[in-house]
Structure 1
Amino acid sequence: MRPLKLVMTGFESYRDKTEINFEDLGKNGLYLIAGDTGAGKTTIFDAITFALYGSPSGTDRSVDMLRSHFADENTPTVVELEFEANGNKYKVIRNPDYERKVRRGNGTTKEPASAVLTYLSEKKDPVSGLSKVNEAVQTILNLKKDQFCRIAMIAQGSFQKLLLSDKNEKGKIFRELFHTEKYERLQSVLGDEKKETKMQLDELSMKFKDALSRIEISETDELYKDVNRIKTSGYVDGEDIRILKEFVSKDEKTLTTLLDDISKVEKEIETINKNLQIGENRKKLEEQISYSQKLFVSKEGEKSEIYKIFEAANKRAEEIPSLTKDKNLLESSLSLYEEIFNAERDLSELSTKLSENLNSKNSFVQAKIEKENEIKDLKEKFESLKNAGENIISLDAALEKNQTEKKELEEIEDRLDKLASEDSLLNLALAAFAEANAEFSRANASYTEKIQLFNLEQAGILAETLKEGMPCPVCGSIDHPHLAAKSHNAPTQKEVEDAKNLLDSISAKANKLSLDAGNKKGLVQSLVGNINDLLSKYFEGVTARDSDLAEKMNSKKKDNENACLEIKDSLCKEMEAKKLRESLEVEIPKAENEMNKISEYISKLDIAISSEKAKLEADKKNLLEKKSGLKFSDYNSAKKELERLEKVISRLNSDVEDADNAKVEYENFMAKIKGEIEGLEKELKKIPEVDVEKLTSEKNKQLNIKDSLNSQRDSMNERKGVNQESVQKIEVLLPKISSVNDRYNMISALYEVSTGTNRGQGRPSLETYVQMHCLDQINRRANLRFKTMTDNKYELRRRIEDDGSELGLDLNVKDFYTGRERNVHTLSGGEQFQASLSLALGLADEIQANSGGIKLDAMFIDEGFGTLDGDTLNKAMKALEDLSQGNKLVGIISHVDELETRIPSKIYIKKDESGISHARMVKD
């Protein structure tokens, strides 16, 4: 891979569009990227890495930090890179997220990150989209970003750290370089798996011991010795399982025997219970017979009372026919009582209505009197208001005149205010004119003096221009023996003209001010005339310039306001009187109409009262005739007597019925009791006699036997359940324990191998072993250059411990002059630089070799050349020149002055005063 052209805009410290054409540097050799610290040299490699992979080369900056702080809203942040790989050319354009100005209107918007890859030498469609472009670039280069950064850029100080760090620090560096963290993760996973398997094994063993300890056994048991041995040993084999199962089986047989014994006892108890039930049934029958006999004797004593009541009720029933006859007669006459009741009610209602009409008449007569008085008062008030409203027109006219006067007085005041303002303006105009006139007088005197002096000195001025042999413009003589002398105070013609221009300007100004003052004076005089005309309507001999005019105006205004209030009050009273008179014109006819209606109603009441009185007398007479010959005084009395007769008849009938029912019920009950006693006595003869006390004693004996058997059954059942469960658990746990134990042994062995502890100390872990192999490969490639740079004096070697073990990643250097190895820390500063550079180049070679044969035709080296002496620098440059042979172009990032003289091709990076970076390519 070779970069061809890089274009940066708004990227980090490069605000302006900056183009670097790497093709101008050729296809191989060295070139220098020079500039002060912080000028932006390494940013070039950041831009290349960002264009290819979407992020900068280092880990200390994120993508959102790439936009230049110097870029304004109209400047984009974009990187374009043309590069060559495997004989084909490509172009990638990429930008991060950034804020830009909206295309229409004000404000900003976010420009989303984007990327486009174009195939310049192949007929393929461009690839767009961040992830798709990243994937395509990785496919083209066959390198991931971290691999590219390791082999394309040798960062400052990074490989000296690798050279001098201890083995633990080297382990961390190699883990990052060769991604050996997967081997460390494998060690961690195996360690976790070992712990987890050990926990599983401990848990299963605990469950096994618990199940074994829970087995219950008695010293009287046949297999006590064998089972107790198994429990004590804590170990179980196949024979032990058979013994435990046999032990559980014997418990099952014992339990079956106990269940049979319990069943026999329960049957014996059931037989006793049946005999006891026979005795209980006989006892109940005897008790029922005794109760029924006592009840029969008790009820026989009630017979005489029941028959006595029966006879008395039938005797009283003989009165029912006579009472029924009286009831029927009263029912037949009840309608007449009802007629009398209705007549009395109607008579009462008529009397009430007559009374109400008489009261209504009296009320209406009183209302008529009051209405007549009301009409009289209304007519008198109407007569007093017959002239109301006649003064409204004159009062309106007076009010309008008053308002006109008020407006004119206010207008006079407004004009007086305007007169005062115009007086001030006139005084200012007159003062300005006076000053301009004085200035004109001074300018005029100056001009007059200058023109007089100028005219007087014209001969002297003319003489100044004459020369011998030149004719005089006045007399024509060419001889000028006596030239007129010019005064030193004489003005020039320009001075005269300037004085004339100034005089004209001041004159124009004075004339304008004079005209302005005249206009203002005319306006003031016109205002005074208008004000005097208005004042003449309300004041005699008063003018606008009178000193007491304000006092007179205030007095006049106050008189106007008082007059206005008086007019309005009179007008209001006049309108109210008119409104009252108009309302009386409506109310008087209305009141008279109401009085006529009252008179008509009184007449109608008189007719109704006369009719009601006549009807009342006739109804009273008719009622007296109906009442004659009746037994009761009114309807209610007759009704109450009828209800009393009905109740007496009903009660007598009910008493007869109740007495008859009681007699029949008694006879039936006595017959029933007698029959029950006879039936119970027959049933009692069928039941045999039993000895209940003896049966009860035997039952208690059998129950005790049953309780004892049940207790034995429960204990045996519980023991059998616990033992059976424990044996089943042991059978299940044994194969699991064996399987987990096998797995634990296997994982423990793997873990010890991965950590190097399988045969005690002194062996590397799996990750360290892989890193040791990688370091050996890098050393092999690095020594090709290191030996050249040191004239075959040194070679890097991985350290071998005194006991011959190769445990770590520490480095030694083989000194071929002494034939001995020593620690790399003993190298001088320049030698350490050579070793670090060799390691870096060896790493780059190793990564390229393991990345599918990818060839990187460009490289950046950012190492500390400033610390090297001349000889060491020459050897380092020789190694780099050898590296750049063929098709490899190597860029050295440095600010060492000597390199500028040695390397002809240079890219100078410089920051201006604002901090903005600029790049310039120079080829000597």
Structure 2
Amino acid sequence: MMKPIKLELKNFGPFINETIHFDELKKEQLFLISGRTGSGKTILFDAMTYALYGEASTKDRDKNALRSQFADENEVSSVTFTFTINNATYIAERQLPYKKPGNKNMTDTKFQLHEITDDKKLLAAKPAEGKQAVQNIMKVDANQFRQILILPQGEFKRFLVSSSKEKQPVLRTLFGTDRFKSLEDKLMTETKALEASVHSMEERLYLLLEQVKTEKRFDGTISQQFASYMDEVKRQQHALEDVQVRLSRKLEELSLERQSLEQAIQVNDWQRQIKEAEARQAELIESDAAIQNAKDEVSQLLVLDYLKEKKEALDNLKDKRTVWQNDFNTLKDKQKHEDHQLSILKESMTALDQEYDSIEEKKHFRDNHRHYIVEEEWHRLEEKITESINELQAHRQKLEQLEPVDTGKLLNELNEIMTEREQLSQQLQVKQITITQLENERRDSDKQNEQVNIRSTYEEELQELNQKKTEPLLDAVVKLRQHLHTGDHCPVCMQQISVVPDIPDRETLEEHQKIEHRKIKLESLIEQLQHYQIRDTTEVVKQLKTLNVELSELTAKKERSDSHYASLSERYQKELNNQSIYQSQQQLYENQQRDLQMSEQLYEQFKKRTGYQTYQQFEEAWQQCHQSIQDHEENVNDLKSQILDKERLLSKLESELSHLTVLLSDSEAEYESLALKLQSDLTKNKLTEDSIEQNVDISRLETLQQKIEDYQTAVQEVQFKLDTLNQNMAGRTSTDIQPIEESIKNLENAVNMLEAEKHTLLIRVGDNEELLKQIDALLTEYEAKIAKQKEALELSRLINGKNPLNLTLENYVLTYYLEQTLILSNLRLNDMTHHRYQFRRKKEKSLGYSGLDIEIFDLYSNQVRDISTLSGGETFLASLALALGLSDYVTQLSGGISLESVFIDEGFGTLDNETLETAIESLIELERSGKMVGLISHVEMLKSRIPAILHVESTGYLSSTRFSIK
């Protein structure tokens, strides 16, 4: 599944700031986590589990209690776990929540998951995102992680004794049987959906049948009711056709009667309209004389209004000419005044032009010396020279106070001391290497002697076992006793048997078997230790003692040399600093002297070029020159602007005068023409100018005109109407319409009754036909789904466990995987229990999930036992064997999960030495297969058998770790 690389703990349990590098193990993949009780060994498993899942390695452990009680209130508690899985490397970092003093709520939990295989890539930044991301990588959740990767103290047998229902999710994850579960769920869902759909269709069909509009109701099945309603709708269709025929006939009769009525009404109306038109025509003839008088009055008013408009136009033109003439005279006077002003401005410009040469000379001076004004350094040049003289005097005084230093003598002495220190260091290194080699030689000799002592212990135990009075042919006696009877001949001596020996009791047999197994084991161990011999370490110890004395003397001498070197180095550094200060001051003095010379040269150059002895005199002269140039340029620009304005104004006046001249010329001819025309019209109408001065009554004129127009329109309309009506009445007389109206009323009543009947039948037949079409289509689909439902229901029941074995499809597959796992687990369990126990899958059916329960077969009693009857040590061995068997089989399948590590917390203390040895051999074999195995135990034998140990050392409150590899 995964292999740890690095575990970093901060304020986590008893660890304040601890980092464990698992790559220090190198090739040693089996390691023991050793330490005193309460030192924090299990906390390491908690840290890995918490980093990944946010939970402790044991369900019952409170994850909120993992924060160190010695952590500062403002410091966070966190765990950072670096691990590899499927050739990819990840870092999981999680902070623990805790309550700060004065706060009511816990701090937020923080989590980040990165992949760092090639480049660092963020996979999750929040705990909610991290849960799914970790599960996608690990392929197991927290509970499954505890059961197959970490076997926590008190929980190592949880998976072993769990029920089929509890094992199912773990095995599903390991062997990827989700597809079978998905198939079961999908088929179950489809079956339920089909059942619901069929039920829904039945309800809908019955509802649709009830909606058929008919006075009759039918019973029976859906198909029977459908056939009856089909016949009923056909009867309704025939009744509708009969009503439509009768309605058509009545409508024809009604149409003819209505035409007769309309014709009679029309003729009677025409007769009435002729009488009204003739009366109106007589009224119009009587008002003809009044209309003629109105026409004459209108003609007179129109002539007066026309002449009045002519007279007003003539007067308006006369007034305009007077205004134009006045404007012309005013503009002419203004033109003369502006011409005079322009002449004055031009004379002023001529006077300014005569100053050109003087201004150009001033510009030359200003521009050539502008840089003295613009550049800042010329302003402060005099001040800078004064400051430089003062600073130069100060530097000269400081130099007189300092003296140059010679550091060559001190440097030679330092080099001599350094050479002496290097020689002493080399001598110390040689001594230390020699001591290390001798100590290694002594440790090797001690190990050799320890192994020889262990071999002697094994030989003594073997000798004691050989001296016990046991029956050497006990097995042979048992076999012979099973086949011999009194009176038979012995197959060895051929004599007749008078007495058959008794078969030893079971306890004696078991004791004999244990002794024989132990003898074989001891002989194997003695043979493995046979090559070890006793070594004498007296000379080595003597040499080590001498070397340690010499090492102490050299160390003291080296410390004196170091102290002398440090003192000289400090003195040499101080002299170097003094020399550096003198050189720096000398450099500053020379630089200041050069700056002063350069400033003085620049100042002499300035006086020579400007002709002024001080900068202030030059600046005042330059500013006066610059101001006079500015004043001259402003005057010139102002005069140019005024001249241009005057010229533009004169041009505008000239244009306006020209325009007024044209207007006066054109209006004079127009005025004479209008006067002649007016006089002619007055003469023609026998009027004078005084007679047209009066205002014309426009409202009176409009009233008369409207009256004449209305009269003419009315005469034309009456005549047109009389002509039209006389044409329509040609050869016709008025008719009595009452009998016709009564006949129409009777026919309309009959038609309304037939239409109501038709409408009712039409809606009923249409709705019923549409309903029957829906019912027919739905009935076809319903019958097809009934057949499909029957097949799907039977299949769903079978694969969801409704079968003789009470096995779902997924559990059926998982039973195969479990049996293969148990075959591999039994190989280890046989060795661990001296061929006494074997795993077997329980075959009996249960009320719920079945097929994944495990039981134990005891070869000694030749009977099946429940897991719960095993002792604590036997349960631990069984759990370990099952976990390793799972690891082996999952690896063989090479699926998405690779069980590359296993961690075990306690359980070894329940084993006797022989069983413990067997368990260790199994773990060593597991290590050889490439898996990492981590153990927590207080058993001393494990410390001597396992070369790699992670020591968890405690000061009583806080803990630290270190790896040691033998």
The interval holding the TM-score normalised by the smaller chain is 0.3 to 0.5
Q: Bigger radius of gyration, 1 or 2?
A: 1
